[in-house]
Amino acid sequence: MKALTRDAKGFIEGITQYIQNEGKVSVLPKVQILLGKVAAQNQKETVANVKSSVALTLEEQKRIEQILYTLVGHPVSLVTSIDDKLLGGLKIQIGDWIIDTSLLGQLEEMAQHILQ
């Protein structure tokens, strides 16, 4: 997986912080196995939910399928929907893995960085 959602990053950072603070380094192998299983499950997902701010053409859908095939290593079928709140770009979800290239997602990320 090339990118993690903010929730996944927060989860991993939280676990890591807990392990370091509690001195429970012995649980690291178990955590690594669990995270490996989660990643493997996402690789088996065959459906990608794709949200866009406008309707996608068949050509655009085929191109997205090709890109996702390259990323996950197997064919996925698209379930597309329109969400005009995205303002532009795409939001793709395969299992727990989210690829958010939407303008809304970028604005939300910038807002979080500003608030930190």
* pTM of the shown model: 0.62
Mean pLDDT to the nearest integer, 81-103 = 91
Annotated domain spans of the chain: 6-115
Distance in angstroms between the alpha carbons of the first and the last residue of the chain: 26
Residue of 64 and 96 predicted with greater confidence: 64
User: Residues 59-89: pLDDT tens digits?
Assistant: 999 999 999 988 888 899 999 999 999 999 9
Residue 90: which of 80, 100, 75, 104 has the closest Cα?
A: 100
pLDDT score, position 44: 73
pLDDT score, position 50: 96
Mean pLDDT to the nearest integer, 97-112 = 89
